Amino acid sequence: MENDKYSNFAELIYWSYSNLAMAHAGLERNHLKYNKYHYIIRAKLFKGLKEGTMNIRSIIDDEKIKLKTGQICNYCGSHEKLSIDHMIPRYHIKTDSAENLIYACQICNSSKGKKDLFEWMHSKNEFLPIFIIRRYIKLVYYHAEENNLLALSMQDLKKMTLPYKPEFIPISYPPPAILKLYAKNKNE
Ligand SMILES: [Zn+2]
């Protein structure tokens, strides 16, 4: 897998997070493709994260978005047959924090099944909304930090049973023209 090329888990997460920030910047400004400006954002953030002068932001911004979007499926925007989805399966994490909970519709829930979120995204061959990817990357990062996994190599991680699959963490994102920030209410 291509994700093997990162020196440790932290670097993989930082790279994905930096690409995500680049995608977000492009989307916010309605750019169709990435340009030099976006690559600078990505490079600066990646360098800052690696050197410890920048950090992965708290999930508070994402919580605000969750409140704003209201009761819709955070994956597809449907408002039918909603239930609570534990992004990282409940039995894997000690605290059942609200940060891990989102609304999901029955169709998305059963399509996702027991798959890791990024594994599911990969199998659908379609990117999930940026904000839901960001939330998940943060959850993975917090878990890895709490469990001292950040310094481990991808080879080490492979030998472990984790509540997520590092090999599916996205390391590149499609152009902003085909991404969306969050799932929109389908009735709007
Ligand atoms: Zn859905």
Q: How far is the CA of 82 from the centre of ligand 1 (A)?
A: 8
Q: How far is the CA of 81 from the centre of ligand 1 (A)?
A: 9
Q: How far is the CA of 183 from the centre of ligand 1 (A)?
A: 9
> What is the predicted pLDDT for the residue at 186?
64
> What is the predicted pLDDT for the residue at 105?
96
**Radius of gyration (C-alpha) of the chain in whole angstroms:** 16
Q: What is the spatial distance between Cα 72 and Cα 105, in angstroms, rounded to a whole number?
A: 8
> What is the predicted pLDDT for the residue at 138?
94
> What is the predicted pLDDT for the residue at 91?
63
Grouped pLDDT means (10 residues each) for the chain, 188 residues: 81 97 94 95 96 89 79 93 88 70 94 94 94 94 94 94 94 94 75
pTM value? 0.92
Q: How far is the CA of 111 from the centre of ligand 1 (A)?
A: 9
Q: How far is the CA of 26 from the centre of ligand 1 (A)?
A: 25
Q: How far is the CA of 167 from the centre of ligand 1 (A)?
A: 24
> What is the predicted pLDDT for the residue at 21?
95
> What is the predicted pLDDT for the residue at 94?
62
Q: How far is the CA of 154 from the centre of ligand 1 (A)?
A: 31
Q: How far is the CA of 56 from the centre of ligand 1 (A)?
A: 27
DSSP conformation letters of the chain? -GGGGSSSHHHHHHHHHHHHHHHHHHHHTT-SS--HHHHHHHHHHHHHHHHTSS-PPPTHHHHHHHHHH-SS-TTT---SSEEEEESS-GGG-SS--GGGEEEEEHHHHHHHTTS-HHHHHHHHTSPPPHHHHHHHHHHHHHHHHHTT-TT--HHHHHTS--SS-GGGS-SS---GGG--SSPPPTT-
> What is the predicted pLDDT for the residue at 58?
80
